[in-house]
Amino acid sequence: GNVELSVNPNGGNPFVPPEQYYIPAGDYLEKVMWGVAQGLPILLIGETGVGKTLLVRHLANRTNNGFRR
Protein backbone atom coordinates (compact mmCIF):
# COMPACT_ATOMS: atom_id res chain seq x y z
CA GLY A 1 0.00 0.00 0.00
CA ASN A 2 0.89 3.63 -0.17
CA VAL A 3 2.44 5.29 2.85
CA GLU A 4 2.05 9.03 3.39
CA LEU A 5 4.19 11.15 5.68
CA SER A 6 3.10 14.53 6.92
CA VAL A 7 4.90 17.57 5.56
CA ASN A 8 6.46 19.96 8.05
CA PRO A 9 4.49 23.22 7.65
CA ASN A 10 7.34 25.32 9.08
CA GLY A 11 9.21 26.25 5.93
CA GLY A 12 12.46 28.11 5.74
CA ASN A 13 14.62 25.54 7.56
CA PRO A 14 18.16 26.11 6.24
CA PHE A 15 18.92 22.41 6.65
CA VAL A 16 16.23 21.14 4.25
CA PRO A 17 18.26 19.55 1.45
CA PRO A 18 17.63 20.51 -2.17
CA GLU A 19 15.59 18.15 -4.30
CA GLN A 20 17.70 15.46 -5.94
CA TYR A 21 17.04 12.89 -8.62
CA TYR A 22 16.25 9.68 -6.71
CA ILE A 23 14.86 6.36 -7.88
CA PRO A 24 14.39 3.96 -4.96
CA ALA A 25 15.26 0.30 -5.40
CA GLY A 26 12.30 -2.01 -4.85
CA ASP A 27 10.03 -1.15 -1.95
CA TYR A 28 12.91 0.05 0.24
CA LEU A 29 11.66 3.66 0.38
CA GLU A 30 8.12 2.60 1.29
CA LYS A 31 9.39 0.36 4.10
CA VAL A 32 11.46 3.20 5.57
CA MET A 33 8.52 5.59 5.24
CA TRP A 34 6.26 3.09 7.04
CA GLY A 35 8.73 2.81 9.92
CA VAL A 36 9.00 6.59 10.20
CA ALA A 37 5.21 6.96 10.12
CA GLN A 38 4.95 4.43 12.97
CA GLY A 39 7.56 6.30 15.03
CA LEU A 40 9.99 3.39 14.89
CA PRO A 41 13.77 3.80 14.95
CA ILE A 42 15.29 3.07 11.55
CA LEU A 43 18.70 1.47 11.01
CA LEU A 44 19.99 1.58 7.44
CA ILE A 45 22.71 -0.95 6.71
CA GLY A 46 24.59 -1.35 3.45
CA GLU A 47 27.81 -0.98 1.57
CA THR A 48 29.29 2.43 0.84
CA GLY A 49 27.55 4.15 -2.06
CA VAL A 50 24.28 2.19 -2.14
CA GLY A 51 22.13 5.24 -1.35
CA LYS A 52 21.41 5.21 2.38
CA THR A 53 22.15 8.92 2.85
CA LEU A 54 20.41 9.83 -0.41
CA LEU A 55 17.25 8.06 0.80
CA VAL A 56 17.24 10.06 4.04
CA ARG A 57 17.99 13.32 2.19
CA HIS A 58 15.11 12.55 -0.19
CA LEU A 59 12.68 11.99 2.69
CA ALA A 60 13.87 15.17 4.42
CA ASN A 61 13.27 17.15 1.23
CA ARG A 62 9.84 15.64 0.58
CA THR A 63 8.67 16.27 4.15
CA ASN A 64 10.31 19.72 4.50
CA ASN A 65 12.48 18.57 7.41
CA GLY A 66 16.06 19.48 8.11
CA PHE A 67 18.94 17.10 7.46
CA ARG A 68 22.32 17.23 9.15
CA ARG A 69 25.11 14.81 8.56
C-beta of residue 33 within 8 angstroms of C-beta of residue 59:
yes
pTM higher than 0.85 for the full model? no
CA quadruple 12, 36, 2, 30: dihedral sign: positive
3-state DSSP call for residue 18?
Answer: coil
Comparing CA positions, the residue from 25, 31, 42, 23 lying closest to residue 1 is: 31
- Cα torsion through 7, 25, 17, 53, rounded to 10: 120
Block means of pLDDT (10 residues each) for the chain, 69 residues, are 80 76 84 93 94 90 85
In whole angstroms, what is the distance from residue 53 CA to residue 36 CA? Answer: 15
